[in-house]
Amino acid sequence: MKVVFTGGGTGGHFYPAIAMAEAVRDLAREQRLIEPRLYYFAPTPFDEDVLFENGIVFIRIPAGKMRRYRSFKNITDLLATGTGFLMALSALFRIFPDVVVSKGGYGSVPTVLAARMLGIPIIIHESDAKPGRANLLAAPFASRIAIAFPSAAAYFPKNTRGKIAQTGIPIRSEIARLETEGARQYLGLDLSIPTVLILGGSQGSSKINETVLAALPELVSFANVIHQTGKELHADVQTRSSVILRNDENAAHYHGFPYLDGLSLRRSAGAAAVVVSRAGAGAIAEIAAWKKPAILIPIPEEVSHDQRTNAYAYAHTGAAVVLEEQNLAPHVLVSEIRRITGNPALAEEMGHKGASFNDADAARIIGTEIVKIALSHEEKP
């Protein structure tokens, strides 16, 4: 059994694919099948260590973004997508997998189009409340369409509705399991005050970082702060936070990291009283699994079409509050963090309201369908 996963260049596409790959391996073991061969086709490997740990072979397939505004780069990126299509066609013909699983995003387009030409079954998973253009393009020739938000179904063509199933968002097993003591011991957190976990997305967020830095003296006066800054933004944030907190008696309450790997993330989430995060669907699913109250700061719609819709859909459950980026100010962020951390009953209630938002078995549900279609494809002459 050979399975190819493909997706765009963000953690929201990459990590759910890893969760599905884990599920496929588990199901193959349980059903005593031959060890599956797994591949990841994308412009970049995103996290090479995770691919290696899961025995997934990376094959680089170039792809270009299609921006929602006029730009010369739309032309050059179209050429990149064309090149990627030819490379994907060659690689798929050589491997000839039993199924291609797409997480959407610009990085998936060449592989999905090539799979269609070769007659390879395609499964797509849409994490967002409002589907992206790549998955809408792939929908007519997909064998199955998995969605996380009920509202997503209405965006797909009517003749695909029979293929659609609401499955939730796959979460890696190592992320779902919290460690409540690890972060406290490793970081030396002050147990007399609450802990705030701040996540700016897999690549970090300049806007969130700027707001946190401006609010830092007040934040560390009443809370431990675990701040994922983004790899490329970390050096600047670290330098500036050191200056800001140079003579602050609470400077030890701040802990900045370029990136939190699986172990660090589950430890940090285990210690957190509230999570401040972008509103990617994958991030929301993880927060829901952790049963933590959230403050969501979606990327503006002119930049990303999906996060605002995701944020308000989740906030509708009562598990989160939404701060629009244009309204994000240091005193507003601090006020919301104080309101939630200062009321343990409210924080607990919010956490429990989010728990039912995502199906904890999403990876296994989709993995079962992947294995079923793959085995069916294997049997064909």
pLDDT of residue 319: 96
Confidence of residue 222 (pLDDT cuts 50, 70, 90): very high
pLDDT band for 71, please (50, 70, 90 cuts): low
Of the chain, the end-to-end C-alpha distance in Å amounts to 15
The predicted-structure confidence for 251-281, as pLDDT tens digits, reads as follows 999 999 999 988 889 999 999 999 999 998 8
CATH code of the domain occupying 174-355: 3.40.50.2000
CB atoms within 10 A of CB 222: 16
pLDDT for 181 equals 75
Fold assignment, 2-171+360-379: Rossmann fold (3.40.50)
CB 189 within 8 A of CB 252: no
Which of these ranges, 62-76, 155-169, 345-359, has the smallest mean pLDDT?
62-76
Question: In sequence order, which ranges of the chain are alpha helices (DSSP H)?
Answer: 11-30, 48-53, 73-95, 109-118, 133-138, 173-176, 182-187, 206-222, 234-244, 262-271, 281-290, 307-315, 330-341, 344-355, 362-379
Q: Do domains 2-171+360-379 and 174-355 have the same CATH topology?
A: yes
Give me the amino acid identity at 341: T
How much is the pLDDT for 379? 62
The domain limits of the chain are: 2-171+360-379, 174-355
Q: What does the pLDDT look like over 179-211, one tens digit per residue?
A: 877 778 888 899 899 999 999 876 768 899 999
Mean per-residue pLDDT of the chain = 91
Reported as type and span, the H/E element at residue 2 is strand 2-6
**The pLDDT value given to residue 9:** 74
